[in-house]
Amino acid sequence: MLLPLFPLNLVLFPGMPQRLHIFEDRYQVMIRDCIEKKQPFGIVLIAEGNAEFGPLATPYMVGTTAQIVEVQELPFGRMNILTIGQERFRIREMHHDKPYLVGDVDFIPFSNIGADPAELRDKGRRLRILLERYLNLLAKAGSIDFDKSQMPQEPDSLAHLAAGIVQVESEQKQTLLESEDMVQYLQELVLLYRLEIALLNVMLSPPQFEEVDGIPFSEN
């Protein structure tokens, strides 16, 4: 399948929303082409180059399709759009005959083939517990407001949510997106959330002081 590609400094996961401000001429053309043809485009993390202006950036080879669900027209052809992540894909070949990149892609859904349903449920349960702890810590830090009652029940949807909201570098998120199967995806998320929770606990803990001659000094 031929898919318009939008290299960005972010990773989109299936089911996750993403707002974008479209201001470059080439991407205005791309979005209008997608609207006219009622087709999605692919969001891919930039591997080399810049998102804005200049030569087209070189993307990683795995990305996620983005379905346009809302468009706000702005002056000078600019747009604000809301998209929803849909399907994971791998680029087989890239074409440069349009102002924007086009990829010949294969869809690569996260496979559950051969997975033990009980193992999937167990890893999903562990991830849910860790995700709730993580959100509580972020709420304590005042950096996120999330309604935990809206948390998905299915392990795959829960994994996409967890991957989308964890505050780590884009390259780490790309590694998650490229997971071989759902079991590995969930396991990588469990390990990542354990680490991030430990780091947040340290960051949010008050520093310990001891007094030397009546003057408080940090133990660090």
Alpha carbons 70 and 62: distance in angstroms, whole number: 25
Average pLDDT over residues 95-124: 91
- The secondary element (H helix, E strand) that includes residue 72 is strand 62-73
DSSP assignment of 19-38: EEEE-SHHHHHHHHHHHHHT
Q: What is the pLDDT of residues 185-209, one digit of tens each?
A: 999 999 999 999 999 998 887 665 5
Residue 140 scores a pLDDT above 60? yes
Nearest alpha-carbon partner for 41 in 10, 11, 7: 7
Q: Which CATH class is domain 117-204?
A: mainly alpha
The shares of helix, strand and coil residues in the chain, as percent rounded to the nearest 5, are: 40, 30, 30
* Four-CA torsion 83, 184, 115, 91, nearest 10 degrees: 50
Domain boundaries, the chain: 2-107, 117-204
pLDDT at 220: 46
Alpha carbons 89 and 95: distance in angstroms, whole number: 16
Q: What are phi and psi of 159, to 5 degrees?
A: -65, -45
Alpha carbons 156 and 186: distance in angstroms, whole number: 8
Average pLDDT over residues 171-185: 95
Adjacent-strand bridge partners of 42? 5, 65
DSSP state of 77: G
Task: For the chain, give the longest Cα–Cα distance.
Answer: 75
Q: What are phi and psi of 177, to 5 degrees?
A: -60, -30
Q: What is the pLDDT of residues 35-92, one digit of tens each?
A: 999 999 999 999 998 877 667 889 999 999 999 999 999 999 999 999 999 999 999 9
Q: What contacts 217, CB < 8 A, 6 or more positions away?
A: 209, 210, 211
Q: What is the CB-side half-sphere exposure of residue 194 using CA atoms within 13 A?
A: 7
The strand pair at 2-8 and 58-59 is best described as unpaired
Under 8 Å between Cβ of 12 and 43: yes
Q: Would you identify the CATH topology of the domain 2-107? A: 2.30.130
Instruction: Assign 26 a pLDDT band (cuts: 50, 70, 90).
Output: very high
Please list the alpha-helical segments (H only) found in the chain. Answer: 25-37, 117-141, 155-165, 170-177, 182-204
